[in-house]
Structure 1
Amino acid sequence: MITQPQATTIPDPDEERRRIQTERLLAYRDDGPIVTALKGVLGRGLPPVPATLVAVLAIVALAVGDVLSSGAILLAPVLILVVLVVPSGPSDHLGRLDWLTPPLLRAAEFLTIILLGLAEGTPKWLLFVLLYVIGYHTYDTVYRTRQGIWPPAWLFRAGLGWEGRLLILGVGAAAGWLTAVTAVLTAYLLVLFSVESVVSWVRLDKASAQAHADQDLEQSPEEAAEQVTGDADQA
């Protein structure tokens, strides 16, 4: 587990606020190794909200048009999302509406998974478990950052990111192996996200308890007695 990124010099308060906002929204995006690898060659990136919104509308159009049946066409929603949204990764996400990017992206990911699963007849309970695991990871990330704690960078890479997960599922759907691919991916993500989350929170609790213990040891007997007396008076 790593803590909130810290600057090496005393930052300007406004610049620090913008930096933390960017870091938080990027964490909520849940980008994987593909976006990370391409950030250095994509310049400033596309505006994230328009790019993601266009991708969502295109995927909805494919669903309404009832063209997602079987075969290679099932890669279409995945490729649309990857082509349009991956280039938005380098954006600073400081626009007035850029906070909409993570929920739009998560909605697009979930919608694509559901459409692929329905097209290939994947058991609905299995799709639900996969969506639940990804949703739990998203909730855990949001809750941690609000506490000033940041998930380790390796977790986003190991979790494959939204783009990696969808590409794996898209290829599996196009090949007719979606149920098996979904089962393996779900099991992998379930173990990864649940174990890492439990271990991280346990370590945090231990560190917090140790900090309190160290603080108590530093107190003089008089200070400890005053604290006990004050607690008794309040009770």
Structure 2
Amino acid sequence: MITHPQTASVPLPDPDEERRRVQTARLLAYRDDGPLVAAVRDRIGPGLPPVPATLVALVAVVVIGLTGVLDPGTGWVMLLPALVMAVLVIPTAPRDHLGRFDWLVPPLIRGTEFAVVMLLGLAADTPKWLLFALIYVVGYHTYDTVYRTRQSIWPAPWVFQAGLGWEVRLLLLGAGAALGLLTWVAGALTLYLGVLFAFESVTSWLRLDKESALAQAGDDLEASPEDAMEQATGDAEKQ
């Protein structure tokens, strides 16, 4: 008697679990965490609640700016905003970001990052156009990440590490301000990030267009001669 091999049934993924996984991955991508967060994420336990911690970080940075602590423009006090944000926000990284209001975390992080850049730059008398350029470059990276993930096109993981993440960027700017070199550090960081993000974004979209074109060509080759003739006739009539 001939028996047919039984194919093992592959269990379908749970839709709710898949939705939660994608939501977590998307919000973590929007956070734009860098190498420092990646190095300590698995070593800090369950972490802090994301929304309260990021809100406290934003309020603390605003208070630092309003109290004039950064008025000297140099000295290690210039590291204070970056350190406050790092201490409060890095421990939120291990969370799954599935809370009702956890979608607020990425904009809170980005807004606090931009606030720190402006406070340091104004205190250190850095050219405003340079501060705008740095914020624009990081903002473009954020927009590109959001747009791509909404199209189910995920940026390569190495981009977030090479982009240094919000935490390393702020610590570098704080150290540069402390040493009286913020203009040079901000300029170098803007140039580096601008080239990195622009190159990766352009090459990724070009590669996607090429893959789409090849897939379309493959579909055309698989079409029957009758379909190909009908399509060509239709194109000719349109002209």
Q: The TM-score by the shorter chain falls in which range? A: over 0.9
Q: Which moved more, 1:52-61 or 1:219-228?
A: 219-228
Equivalent of residue 158 in structure 1, options 154, 162, 169: 162
CA distance in 2, matches of 1:10, 1:190: 42
CA distance in 2, matches of 1:225, 1:89: 57
Q: CA deviation at 1:226?
A: 4.1
1:25 aligned partner: 27
Give aligned-pair identity as a percent: 64
Q: CA deviation at 1:209?
A: 0.5
CA distance in 2, matches of 1:197, 1:36: 22
Number of aligned residue pairs: 228
CA distance in 2, matches of 1:231, 1:44: 60
The residue type paired with residue 206 of structure 2 is: V
CA distance in 1, matches of 2:59, 2:103: 18
TM-score, scaled relative to structure 1? 0.93
Alpha carbons of structure 1 residues 47 and 230: separation in structure 2 relative to 1, 3 Å: farther
Q: CA deviation at 1:47?
A: 1.0
1:67 aligned partner: 69
CA distance in 1, matches of 2:238, 2:31: 46
The residue type paired with residue 182 of structure 1 is: A
2:202 aligned partner: 198
1:144 aligned partner: 148
Stretches of 4+ aligned residues off by more than 2 angstroms:
223-235
1:209 aligned partner: 213
CA distance in 2, matches of 1:50, 1:56: 10
Structure of greater relative contact order (alpha carbons < 8 Å, 6+ residues apart): 1
Equivalent of residue 229 in structure 2, options 225, 230, 234: 225
Structural RMSD (CA): 1.8
Unaligned stretches of 5+ residues in structure 1: 1-7
Q: Secondary structure at the match of 2:69?
A: coil
The residue type paired with residue 114 of structure 2 is: F
The residue type paired with residue 45 of structure 2 is: G
1:176 aligned partner: 180
Unaligned stretches of 5+ residues in structure 2: 1-9
CA distance in 1, matches of 2:90, 2:47: 9
Q: CA deviation at 1:40?
A: 1.0
1:54 aligned partner: 56
**1:42 and 2:44 equivalent?**
yes
The residue type paired with residue 128 of structure 1 is: F
The residue type paired with residue 114 of structure 1 is: M
TM-score, scaled relative to structure 2? 0.91
The residue type paired with residue 61 of structure 1 is: V
Q: CA deviation at 1:43?
A: 2.0
CA distance in 2, matches of 1:178, 1:60: 20
Alpha carbons of structure 1 residues 113 and 9: separation in structure 2 relative to 1, 3 Å: farther
Q: CA deviation at 1:233?
A: 9.1
The residue type paired with residue 152 of structure 2 is: G
